[in-house]
A and B are shown apart, each in its own frame.
Chain A
Amino acid sequence: MSKIILQIDERKIEAREGMTILEAAHSVGIFIPTLCHHEKLEPYGACRICTVEVETRGRTNLIASCLYPVEQDLVVRTRSEKVDKTRKMILELMLAHAPDDPALQDLAKEYGADKNRFEKEPSFCILCGLCVRYCAEVKKKNAVGFVSRGIRREISFIPEIASKECLNCKECFSLCPTGALQAAFVLTEALAFPPPPSEPVPDE
């Protein structure tokens, strides 16, 4: 693997080809916040809290550092007025769903985000997909997935799989950035769903 030199927050950084900006930054101790990122999982790029500013060919862009591959001579700024403003808004949008989550509150303090900016719709879920992806990529069970799209997107356990797999696993619960209770609730909801009348009710 060839070496790539780039600049993060005015520091010259040496990275390996194929690394993401986030990995390169973390490797030298530069902190970039993340919510949907997990080392064991494929990069996903959904929460966008890891947004940073990059300069390539004279143009400045905001990109998700967890996805963007390092490039030779790339100039990265992990904090800037634009970055902070974007992170603040992203936090405020997520706080409408999970207003009391400690992880979000810590970040809110850092970026001056107001948890009451938007009308509350407490679903407790920010759709980071950690549970979904962990179940698919690590456990290879696909017991939990996304349903619907757009503003109606939500996570849902698949009763047929969940009833067999989940009760003894629950590994995804601890991954949930907004509190394990959420996953537990959705799981219970899935398993409580009455089975079709043609099938016998499974014995507990």
Chain B
Amino acid sequence: MRRINSPAELDKFRKDIISKRDPDKPCIAVCTGTGCLALGAADVVTALKEEIKKQGLETEVVDIRETGCPGFCERGPILVIYPEEICYLQVQPGDAEEIVSQTIVAKKVIDRLLYVDSKTDETIVHESEIPFYKNQMRNLIGNNIKIDPKSIDDYLAVGGYSALVKALFQETPEQVVELVKNSKLRGRGGAGFLAGLKWEFARKSPDKTKYVIVNADEGDPGAFMDRAVLEGNPHSVLEGLTIGAYAMGSHEGYIYVRQEYPLAVENVGIAIKQAEDYGFIGENILGSGFDFTIKVHQGAGAFVCGEETSLLMSLEGKPGEPRPRPPYPAVKGLRGKPTNINNVETWANIPLIINNGADFLTSIGTEGSKGTKIFSLVGKVNNTGLVEVPMGITLREIIYGVGGGVPGGKKFKAVQTGGPSGGCIPEEHLDIEVDFDELAQVGAIMGSGGMIVMDEDTCMVDVARYFLAFLADESCGKCVPCREGIRQMLKILTNISEGKGKEGDIELLVELSETTQNASLCALGRTAPNPVLSTIRYFRDEYEAHIKEKRCPAYVCKELISYYIDPDTCQACMICLRKCPVEAIVGGKNQIHVIDQEKCIKCGTCFEVCPPRFGAVKKISGEPVPPPIPEEARTIIRKSKAK
């Protein structure tokens, strides 16, 4: 590896890389992000490599690029073939032969691997025309499929580290801070504090030693935005961090990433090594005289360590518990020194702002929230995956336009944004614009970008209980309002979902919420009641049904539902009887089946296996189970046989 000592050398080096690359040479880009790997992408890559060898093509004819996540996780493993940009979905190793012989050699598109529009039944060849992608604005994750995250040359080929050059050689640190301030970039970690302002505080803190930190402790259930950026384009984060260090006068940086993200840890480690070898990190960066080193710190997976002061404690080797603010980290942070902490996505925005100016960001979004935001769109939605959209897009556009709506013809019920500290937003607010302040208005938060879609089969009491159970485990347990408030709220919610709810429980939940919100030490506690408050606000009737009628309207809470076989429609087909894991179904050939309610564990197997044409197994809630029909009446006399 060679060290690059000046912007001119980097320019020449970049031109060399690009000139050696033939844009018309076929390249199969396979997503090897965590999602696609879980779906077997590694085997697809191996099969493709073998097939290329077998067909005598070797690397002169076609390249294979193993990339980070392009987002459409629902349909993985995904590959995109360049230069045509042909997108194949759900590719299996067995498809390799055809892909190589048909698409690479014969230049023919394989229809069965293409995206099929469910509305028009038309196949779509190009990635950018698939509705999932068409409605996005992928400034941050758009390059993921175009680069191998383990190759710094790939990053340089798409213009990487040009922002670093610009910052170091054309701007003063103050100008960089000013630029970030003007861009109105708000922190993507959750609270949405203006990044430029935070930078200015750290810059103005008088101390020789300062630290800059990437918060990659992504802990919300179902969220994987930061992972995808760090896995797929680690250099964009390193570049942003180095620019930030220059602007704030820091010479040491940390990436705090959870140990459960092994691929992100690996890729960012490789990226740091490569950037050091090239002289983009280390001493006298690109001959500018600026020194900066980056270390990776693996967190042990505590949710609370995503809270910045807990993160600092953990980084210092202490228990991950928050410490009071003030003093803020910008004044007294890591080891008592001024420290700036920003989220992965915030840092990844920096090179874009430096390269394209503050207007680039301010031209996108709403008055109060600028730029794009990555969401992990999960739950009851057709296109599960990672989406990047401009701020100001409506929730409806994300869920229906990008996400393709709710599967199985089910009705939409709510979308939960912001993870365990977020809130549930009902149908009536789906047309609000995605914006830090708008989301807060309706009782949710932007958070770091988790977005869980829920359909009519979701019980909102159960959702609140689930998030509180998560927080009961993940609170550090230091302060009373958070630890004890969550403990009691969880108990009440559990009681309600088990049919033991009492009059006054809702009011008590609200009162506990207030104390926990107002008096907790850190943001975890102060936002912990959000799932409770937002579900009470919009779905109070569900709480009341549980408490007053002992009924779960969504048929979710086990203690409140029963399964029952309708004797009029049961055809004694024996399917449910055989599948019941606890032998709770009594019956036989030509004998109408009856569920023994004492034995039933409410697993729902009978309900699922009963042939739809009979539909004899019923779920009931809030009403007594009809008595079993007398044994003598259970024999079915079939007309055909009765003759």
Q: Which of A62, A64, A127 contacts B324 (CB 8 A)?
A: A64
Q: Which of B319, B327, B474, B519 contacts A48 (CB 8 A)?
A: B519
Residues of B within 8 A of A (CB): 302, 304, 319, 324, 326-327, 471-481, 483-488, 490-491, 511-512, 514-515, 518-521
Q: Which of B319, B488, B514 contacts A93 (CB 8 A)?
A: B488
Q: When A and B form their complex, which 10 residue pairs have the shortest distance between CB atoms, in order from nearest?
A: A153-B477, A93-B484, A67-B324, A89-B515, A150-B475, A151-B487, A62-B518, A151-B472, A149-B477, A48-B519
Judging by beta carbons under 8 Å apart, are A151 and B319 in contact?
A: no
Closest residue of chain B to A35 (Cβ to Cβ) is: B480
- Taking CB atoms, residues of chain B closer than 8 Å to A89 are 481, 485, 511-512, 515
CB of A118 closer than 8 Å to a CB of B:
yes
Judging by beta carbons under 8 Å apart, are A127 and B326 in contact?
A: no
- Taking CB atoms, residues of chain B closer than 8 Å to A48 are 479-481, 519-521
Supposing A46-B478, A149-B302, A149-B477 touch, asked if A90 and B487 sit within 8 A by C-beta, the answer is: no
25 examples of A-B residue contacts, CB within 8 angstroms = A43-B324, A51-B518, A64-B519, A69-B326, A85-B515, A86-B519, A90-B481, A90-B515, A90-B519, A94-B480, A127-B478, A127-B483, A149-B304, A149-B473, A149-B474, A149-B475, A149-B476, A150-B472, A150-B477, A151-B473, A151-B483, A151-B486, A151-B487, A152-B477, A153-B478
State in angstroms the CA–CA spacing of A152 and B521 once bound together.
Answer: 18
Judging by beta carbons under 8 Å apart, are A93 and B480 in contact?
A: yes
CB of A99 closer than 8 Å to a CB of B:
no
Q: Which of B483, B491, B511, B514 contacts A150 (CB 8 A)?
A: B483
Supposing A48-B480, A86-B515 touch, asked if A118 and B475 sit within 8 A by C-beta, the answer is: no
CB distance from A132 to the nearest CB of B (A): 11
CB of A173 closer than 8 Å to a CB of B:
no
CB of A119 closer than 8 Å to a CB of B:
yes
CB of A31 closer than 8 Å to a CB of B:
no
Judging by beta carbons under 8 Å apart, are B483 and A90 in contact?
A: no
CB of A144 closer than 8 Å to a CB of B:
no
Judging by beta carbons under 8 Å apart, are A62 and B519 in contact?
A: yes
- Taking CB atoms, residues of chain A closer than 8 Å to B486 are 150-151
Closest residue of chain B to A67 (Cβ to Cβ) is: B324
- Taking CB atoms, residues of chain B closer than 8 Å to A62 are 518-519
Judging by beta carbons under 8 Å apart, are A150 and B480 in contact?
A: no
* A86-101 vs B, Cβ < 8 Å mask (1 yes, 0 no): 1001100110100000
CB of A75 closer than 8 Å to a CB of B:
no
Q: What is the predominant secondary structure among interface residues of chain B facing chain A?
A: helix
Q: Which of A46, A49, A150 contacts B474 (CB 8 A)?
A: A150
State in angstroms the CA–CA spacing of A126 and B483 once bound together.
Answer: 11
Interface size on A, residues (CB 8 A): 32
Judging by beta carbons under 8 Å apart, are B519 and A150 in contact?
A: no
CB distance from B412 to the nearest CB of A (A): 32
CB distance from B336 to the nearest CB of A (A): 14
CB distance from A74 to the nearest CB of B (A): 12
Closest residue of chain A to B488 (Cβ to Cβ) is: A118
CB of A148 closer than 8 Å to a CB of B:
yes
**Known pairs A68-B326, A85-B515, A151-B473. 17 more at Cβ < 8 A?**
A45-B324, A46-B480, A48-B519, A64-B521, A86-B518, A89-B485, A89-B511, A94-B484, A118-B488, A119-B491, A149-B476, A149-B477, A150-B472, A150-B477, A151-B477, A151-B486, A153-B483
- Taking CB atoms, residues of chain A closer than 8 Å to B521 are 45-46, 48, 64
- Taking CB atoms, residues of chain A closer than 8 Å to B518 are 51, 62, 82, 86
State in angstroms the CA–CA spacing of A46 and B483 once bound together.
Answer: 10
- Taking CB atoms, residues of chain B closer than 8 Å to A93 are 480-481, 484-485, 487-488, 515
- 8 Å CB interface, A34-58 against B: 43, 45-49, 51
CB distance from B515 to the nearest CB of A (A): 4
Judging by beta carbons under 8 Å apart, are B472 and A46 in contact?
A: no
Judging by beta carbons under 8 Å apart, are B481 and A151 in contact?
A: no
Residue among A86, A118, A126, A150 with the highest chain B CB neighbour number at 10 A: A150
- Taking CB atoms, residues of chain A closer than 8 Å to B484 are 90, 93-94, 96
- Taking CB atoms, residues of chain B closer than 8 Å to A119 are 491
State in angstroms the CA–CA spacing of A90 and B520 once bound together.
Answer: 10
- 8 Å CB interface, A60-86 against B: 62, 64, 67-69, 82, 85-86
Judging by beta carbons under 8 Å apart, are A146 and B319 in contact?
A: yes
Judging by beta carbons under 8 Å apart, are A148 and B488 in contact?
A: no
- Taking CB atoms, residues of chain A closer than 8 Å to B487 are 93, 151
Judging by beta carbons under 8 Å apart, are A46 and B479 in contact?
A: yes
- Taking CB atoms, residues of chain A closer than 8 Å to B514 are 85
Closest residue of chain A to B471 (Cβ to Cβ) is: A150
CB distance from B542 to the nearest CB of A (A): 24
State in angstroms the CA–CA spacing of A85 and B516 once bound together.
Answer: 12
- Taking CB atoms, residues of chain B closer than 8 Å to A67 are 324
* A132-176 vs B, Cβ < 8 Å mask (1 yes, 0 no): 000000000000001011111100000000000000000000000
CB distance from A123 to the nearest CB of B (A): 11
State in angstroms the CA–CA spacing of A3 and B519 once bound together.
Answer: 29
- Taking CB atoms, residues of chain A closer than 8 Å to B319 are 146
Closest residue of chain A to B518 (Cβ to Cβ) is: A62
State in angstroms the CA–CA spacing of A107 and B64 once bound together.
Answer: 71
Closest residue of chain B to A91 (Cβ to Cβ) is: B480
Closest residue of chain B to A47 (Cβ to Cβ) is: B480
Q: Which of A49, A96, A148 contacts B477 (CB 8 A)?
A: A148
- Taking CB atoms, residues of chain A closer than 8 Å to B488 are 93, 96, 118
- Taking CB atoms, residues of chain A closer than 8 Å to B477 are 127, 146, 148-153
- Taking CB atoms, residues of chain A closer than 8 Å to B481 are 48, 86, 89-90, 93
State in angstroms the CA–CA spacing of A69 and B324 once bound together.
Answer: 10
CB distance from A121 to the nearest CB of B (A): 8
Judging by beta carbons under 8 Å apart, are A126 and B480 in contact?
A: yes
Closest residue of chain A to B521 (Cβ to Cβ) is: A45
State in angstroms the CA–CA spacing of A47 and B477 once bound together.
Answer: 11
State in angstroms the CA–CA spacing of A119 and B495 once bound together.
Answer: 12
State in angstroms the CA–CA spacing of A68 and B479 once bound together.
Answer: 15
- Taking CB atoms, residues of chain A closer than 8 Å to B326 are 68-69
* A11-28 vs B, Cβ < 8 Å mask (1 yes, 0 no): 000000000000000000
CB distance from B350 to the nearest CB of A (A): 29
Judging by beta carbons under 8 Å apart, are A45 and B515 in contact?
A: no
CB distance from B566 to the nearest CB of A (A): 40
State in angstroms the CA–CA spacing of A90 and B484 once bound together.
Answer: 8
CB distance from A148 to the nearest CB of B (A): 7
State in angstroms the CA–CA spacing of A129 and B480 once bound together.
Answer: 12
Residue among A46, A47, A82 with the highest chain B CB neighbour number at 10 A: A46
Residue among B472, B473, B511, B515 with the highest chain A CB neighbour number at 10 A: B515
- Taking CB atoms, residues of chain B closer than 8 Å to A43 are 324
State in angstroms the CA–CA spacing of A149 and B512 once bound together.
Answer: 20
CB distance from B300 to the nearest CB of A (A): 11
Residue among A51, A62, A119, A151 with the highest chain B CB neighbour number at 10 A: A151
State in angstroms the CA–CA spacing of A146 and B472 once bound together.
Answer: 16
